[in-house]
Amino acid sequence: MPLARGAAVADNMGAEESRMRQHHDMGGLPGGPVARQEHDYALWEKRVDALMVLLSQRQLLRVDELRRNIEALAPDAYDKMSYYERWISAITHTLLQRGVVTSDELGRAMAAVEAREAGR
């Protein structure tokens, strides 16, 4: 039976071997009931989606880079973050990797947003 990251498992032919399953690669793992309640997407979430679409259209990001950066999140971060939190984190990391933005620019811009909020 497939287990989580790093566990040794017996394969179908009975031989023990150590296997490594990445955290996001969850097909076949045990799970609870499918929670059916849905939420209306908040405007900030739709804007994250729009950001992905606009950046892809301008070839500043590939969906594959987005996915890789999501998959690179630490397992507890992956589980705790909401879907669009993972997306905005991954979009930002991709832009950093591509050199479209720098950490310095981001840090200053985020601090400015925080200050603007605090001033309200």
Partner 1 sequence: MSAVEPRFAPGARVRVRRADPPGHIRTPWYIRGHSGEIERVCGAFPNPEELAYNRPGLPAQPLYRVRFRQRELWPDYAGAAADTIEVEIYQHWLEPAR
Partner 2 sequence: MSSDVHTHDPAHDHRHGHAHPPHEEASERLSYYQVMEIAVRELLIAKNVFTADDVRRAVEAMDARDPAQGARVVARAWTDPAFKARLLADGRAAVRELGYDMATFHLLVVENTATLHNLIVCTLCSCYPRMLLGLPPDWYKSRAYRSRAVREPRAVLKEFGTVLGDDVELRVHDSTADMRYLVLPERPAGTEGWSEERLAALVSRDSMIGVTRCRV
Binding-site ranges for partner 1 (CB under 8 A): 1-2, 11-12, 19-22, 25, 27-28, 62, 64-65, 67-68, 71, 97-98
Under the binding rule (CB under 8 A), the answer on residue 7 touching partner 2 is no
Rounded to an integer, what distance in angstroms lies between the CA atom of residue 81 and that of residue 57? 26
Rounded to an integer, what distance in angstroms lies between the CA atom of residue 99 and that of residue 82? 26
Q: Which does 50 bind (CB under 5 to 8 A by kind): partner 2, partner 1, none?
A: partner 2
Q: Which is nearer to partner 2, 10 or 113 (CB)?
A: 113
**Beta-ladder partners of 8:** 18
**One residue of 8, 14, 20, 28 binding partner 2 per CB under 8 A:** 28
**Beta-ladder partners of 17:** 9
C-alpha distances in Å from residue 106, one per residue of 3, 83, 87, 93, 109: 38, 21, 16, 11, 5
Rounded to an integer, what distance in angstroms lies between the CA atom of residue 120 and that of residue 79? 32
Binding site for partner 2 (CB under 8 A): 24-44, 46-51, 53-55, 58, 60, 67, 70, 79, 81, 83-85, 88-89, 91-92, 95, 100-101, 105-106, 109-110, 112-114, 117, 120
